[in-house]
Amino acid sequence: MCGSLSRRIRDCLSSRKNNRTRLVGKDGRCNIAYGNIKYANHYAFVADFWTTLVEIQWRYVLLFFIGSFTITWFLFALLWYWIAKNNGDLYWQNPSSDHKPCIWGVWGLTTAFLYSLETQTTIGYGVRAVTPYCPGGVALVTIQAVFGAFFNCFMCGLVMSKISSPKKRGKTITFSEMAVISPKNGSLCLSIRVANLRKSLMIGSQIYGKLLRTKNTLDGETVIIDQVNIDFMVDAGKDSLFFVYPFTLHHIIDKNSPFFEMTEDTLHKQDFELVVFLDGTAESTSSSHQVRTSFVPQEIMWGYDFLPIISKSKDDKYRVDFSNFSKVVPVTTAESAYCFYNISSHLPHPSDGYDNQGFEVIEIGDRSHVTTM
């Protein structure tokens, strides 16, 4: 039991280490921090306040929503209180019985706040109202009504932009948890499965990848994040995919592939990150978006293939079984690309010997190099 617990702890720590070293998480978020930014550059985020508000988290948006309305109501309440005070409408000013107030029902700061709230939100309970005896009150109610209309439009637009963000549409695009390496159509391929969970199509979908790794150049420079293009394709082509059912993406491991030198034994010892991108436009909203995910060496399974998930029912309908979306089965696969393509120049051969794969009895002519046991 102790051994099983310690193994689970090691696996958990290893998993957390892999997550920390990712540049792009499985959910597409980039794991990068910016430091030593000049203080003056922070004003750029204020100047582009709309993008800043759209990109911040929901809890800050709700805080801004509630706080901004409350503050504007209170600021206008102070103006209404000032007008009422100048006109002698407050209760502690003891107005006469024939006094003509600027605002009916406003005799203190609390009632001024309630009147400001009712004016800006156009509630109008009928208890408090501006009178025609005070030109300043008429002007202020006009200004607050126009300001409230613009401010309500701004806040509604902010909430709608948050709700309709293209990132939310990307949540319905899912990738397989693991990538596999197996033979496909006479080639050794790295395969990844991707699916659109909605029935609405993705228009102009394009799929590509980047291999991120640390590289030492010939000049002695160390490139922390060196990007190598990884081409993916499906049976239907590479560009403008008909993304109505799950696809299996294939990267052919040939001499131009960075995976060509890797073997089944050395794959998990490598230090790289494979980032896969899917760009497309949502059919229903016409919004462009990008979906990302990444795979580390421990998430690439050599000698496995995905289970089929598309079938045809008896009533001539196509059915997608997502229970097998990330399930894999072992298949016969060469341990390296060199073995798969039978490249003999890379395979080790004895300098003195004979190829006798059938274990036949043969005669060796020259016995001068034969060692006697």
Q: Quick: pLDDT tens for 26-59.
A: 888 888 877 777 765 667 777 788 888 888 889 9
pLDDT at position 215: 83
**CATH topology of 42-164 equal to that of 169-345?**
no
pLDDT at position 348: 46
The secondary element (H helix, E strand) that includes residue 202 is strand 202-216
C-alpha pair distances (Å), 128 with each of 95, 105, 139, 141? 17, 5, 16, 12
Q: Collapse the DSSP code of 45 into the 3-class scheme (helix H, G, I; strand E, B; otherwise coil) and give the result.
A: helix
pLDDT in tens, 240-286: 677 778 888 999 999 999 999 999 999 998 889 999 999 888 887 77
What is the C-alpha end-to-end distance of the chain, expressed in Å? 51
pLDDT at position 317: 84
User: How confident is the model over 123-138, as a mean pLDDT?
Assistant: 88
CB neighbour list of residue 189: distance below 8 Å, 6 or more residues apart:
181, 182, 183, 250, 251, 252, 253
Where is mean pLDDT largest: 10-19, 142-151, 348-357?
142-151
User: Would you say residue 303 has pLDDT above 70?
Assistant: yes
Please tell me the distance from the alpha carbon of residue 275 to that of residue 39, in angstroms, as a whole number: 33
Ordered by start, the domain boundaries in the chain are 42-164, 169-345
User: Would you say residue 10 has pLDDT above 90?
Assistant: no
What is the third-level CATH fold of 169-345? Answer: Immunoglobulin-like (2.60.40)
User: Would you say residue 368 has pLDDT above 50?
Assistant: no
Q: Beta strands 129-130 and 179-184: pairing type?
A: unpaired
Nearest one of 296, 293, 205 to 29, comparing CA atoms = 293
Q: What are phi and psi of 285, to 5 degrees?
A: -115, -10
pLDDT at position 240: 62
Which CATH number is associated with domain 42-164? Answer: 1.10.287.70
pTM over 0.75: no
